[in-house]
Structure 1
């Protein structure tokens, strides 16, 4: 049975690659935005601080030049540190402004990264006095300290943003996971569960809108299913009396081939009506198991051979189980009937612990049944006449749910055979629970998606 649970490795890898937590996505987004904002602000602050320092240095150089000019005009000689007359290294731009009779300052960057600050003023005797200084070491140290503080601040912003993203994303993720868990419970038939109550919380956000929409959808679907079930049950109940009367009247007909045909069809109709009523009861979630302790292997052997003496029964491991014998017998009979009707002999029944397997050697189950599970009035046969109404496996699955058991279906194929190779038989597996079932009412079944065995 290992093949039943096998999944393609590539599919699992793809699912693992695509699944990423909301908290980490939100954290990464906040961290990225925080990093971009921190870098932008750091560049703006750094440039603003440097421009401000350069402006202060130019103002200082201009003030010193005014003092040097005044001293020169009073004494007739240059007696101010750093002041020069007609300095050949004076930048061309500053020389042109001095020639135009303007006092000006100029900043230039050397290849080594050093910054030069110039100030020049035209003198009355036609010469040009200039003052040359550099960006002070103190200013460079201040800029380096500022850059270091900005880097530390940026890192703190990114880490803080990531932490906030994890907290916010974690809260949203928890709410969404609670909503998903509650929605899964609703899908399994727990109609009293409400997604909005499951997520809880004081803050109202989009998840509340989603929860309310899911609750409204679940209520609408439940009402529709209940209405359909009620209509089905009512129709079947109303048909029971006339069908019984028809069968009684047919039994009073004189013996002959026509009478046999009428009786056969009347009995088939009565069986159909009883099956529809049973499906309606199972769908209503009102059925409860009447538990007894039985030896599973002995029980299955006696019931299977009573149903069909040609069935091969093998008890690999006997076990005592607590279950409802009547419902278990119903499941077993329906599986044997389906195997005999749609499969080919030999039909084999194997009991191993709490697991019962029913196998035939026919063409296998239809692909629709394997993908979606049993469905009423769908047999998978092109010819519906004489092949049942698709209710046998539906009833078996419903009774299994009342027992708290799990009923699965698969086809037997050669190992490694492609899907186009015909199946070598069909296997229905009933997994009885380890503990006695409690509150195991029926509800719409979510079919497993079996693999190939």
Structure 2
């Protein structure tokens, strides 16, 4: 808008300048020719004095006239003499050619016109001041500049208003999409004022509705299957425990089969419990027993009770008294799952570290395994994902451990990510908001 208004103002000023200057020039030429005719007529009369002829001319106060005759210069004023006339102009007129030229007269712009009068062996000159025209043009320039500024400001205001009006629906779409991605599947776009956007809003809401229905259906299926498996699984576990009471009566092959049965039922029971836990969190039915938890004590307890034995534990300076408002049981599950993951897939835990960055507590678990490929770092937190390599499949696991970590951290307002550990291996970092004291 500023460039357009500036260009428009500049073009208008240029056209106005050209028109007014041409009009003033035409008027000056017409007046000069009329005055030259009078001078020629009066000087043709015998005995007429040149100065008297010049003084008889009817000229405005801003016009000066000159006559060159018989090698002498005559002027209507003493203050402005022939020095006001440029030499190129006088030379052209003295050679018998009419001419005009822009000049400076007493610091003001003017136009000098010269006309040869061969009938009386003289040359006539007039100098017309353009000061009044210049004042008019200066005023016009100021007015046009102000108009251009107002147009630019008005255009900017209009553009801002139109931009806000156009971007508002996009902002709403962005906000709703972010809310949906964070799990608020009941969010919808409101009806737009613009009828052109109504089909888009309707299609978006229908898409979200279909997505919500599908997710809820899958959640119900997972929950129902988990509940249906829980009862027979409990019966199998109970039966295995009863059989274990009569190990001495079983042959060697029977004891091996019993050990395998108890191992697999235990693993299967853990998978079912994990599915039920995830189902409750998906449904928003997870019960959180929130309290202030000292992370140093919690991590030390998790390490002491872990099967892998001694694990190096490092507390960074300033993180010794870090506490978070959380469900202690769920945080213990997070740490235990990360330690189990390091044992199963990372060839053992290298180090557990507690740190603090601003208002965030950081729990870091490092392992000595092959690490996680960059393309799989987001997928390792998906449900039932166990890696793309054959080694990951051979190591077993349900693929729910890291998914539970991500869900537990999410409900606490935190985040979890994985990166490479310097020297090889994977580094899992959990961030949780610190309790303000």
- For the superposition of Structure 1 and Structure 2, which TM-score range results when normalised by the shorter chain? 0.5 to 0.7
Query: Paired residue for 2:209?
Result: 223
Deviation at 1:131, TM superposition (A): 6.6
Query: Paired residue for 1:233?
Result: 219
Query: Paired residue for 1:376?
Result: 383
- The TM-score with structure 2 as length reference comes to 0.66
Q: Which has the larger displacement, 68-77 or 359-368?
A: 68-77
Secondary structure of 1:36's match?
helix
Query: Paired residue for 2:306?
Result: 307
Q: For 1:146-295, what aligned pairs fall within 5 Å after superposition? A: 146-153=136-143, 155-157=145-147, 159-160=149-150, 163-164=153-154, 167-168=157-158, 176=167, 179=171, 182=175, 185-186=178-179, 187-190=181-184, 219-220=205-206, 222-240=208-226, 241-242=228-229, 244-245=231-232, 248=235, 251=239, 255=254, 257=256, 268-295=267-294
Q: 2:420 aligns with which of 401, 411, 424?
A: 411
Q: 2:404 aligns with which of 374, 386, 395?
A: 395
Per-residue CA deviation, residues 225-248 of structure 1 (Å, 9 max, x unaligned), is 423322322332343325753674
Cα RMSD of the aligned pairs, angstroms, is 4.6
Query: Paired residue for 1:430?
Result: 430
Q: Which has the larger displacement, 156-165 or 247-256?
A: 247-256
2:364 is aligned with 1:357: yes
Cα distance between partner residues in 1 of 2:37 and 2:93: 17
Cα distance between partner residues in 2 of 1:259 and 1:34: 90
Secondary structure of 2:434's match?
coil
Query: Paired residue for 1:367?
Result: 374
Distance 1:248 1:411, change over 3 A: same
Secondary structure of 2:134's match?
helix
Cα distance between partner residues in 2 of 1:217 and 1:375: 28
Q: Which has the larger radius of gyration?
A: 2
- The TM-score with structure 1 as length reference comes to 0.64
Distance 1:406 1:270, change over 3 A: same
Secondary structure of 1:356's match?
strand
Conserved? CA contact 1:365–1:410, under 8 Å: yes
Distance 1:88 1:294, change over 3 A: closer
Q: Which has the higher contact order (CA 8 A, sep 6+)?
A: 1
Distance 1:308 1:217, change over 3 A: farther
Deviation at 1:364, TM superposition (A): 2.2
Cα distance between partner residues in 2 of 1:224 and 1:337: 37
Secondary structure of 2:417's match?
strand
Question: Which consecutive residues of structure 2, in runs of 5 or more, have no partner in the other structure?
Answer: 55-65, 71-89, 244-249
Per-residue CA deviation, residues 184-239 of structure 1 (Å, 9 max, x unaligned), is 75344455667779xx9xxx78xx978995x6676455434423322322332343
Q: Across the two proteins, how many residue pairs are aligned to each other? A: 373
Cα distance between partner residues in 2 of 1:329 and 1:184: 32
Deviation at 1:324, TM superposition (A): 0.8
2:17 is aligned with 1:55: no
Higher strand share: 2
Query: Paired residue for 1:133?
Result: 125
Secondary structure of 1:393's match?
helix
Cα distance between partner residues in 2 of 1:190 and 1:209: 27
2:7 is aligned with 1:36: yes
Q: Which has the larger displacement, 156-165 or 285-294?
A: 156-165
Cα distance between partner residues in 1 of 2:234 and 2:420: 39
Query: Paired residue for 1:117?
Result: 113
Secondary structure of 2:325's match?
strand
Question: Which consecutive residues of structure 1, in runs of 5 or more, have no partner in the other structure?
Answer: 1-29, 96-105, 414-422, 437-453
Query: Paired residue for 2:134?
Result: 144
Distance 1:107 1:160, change over 3 A: farther
Per-residue CA deviation, residues 247-287 of structure 1 (Å, 9 max, x unaligned), is 74695799365666566556555544443443343334453
Distance 1:361 1:63, change over 3 A: same
Q: 2:332 aligns with which of 329, 334, 339?
A: 329
Deviation at 1:327, TM superposition (A): 1.5
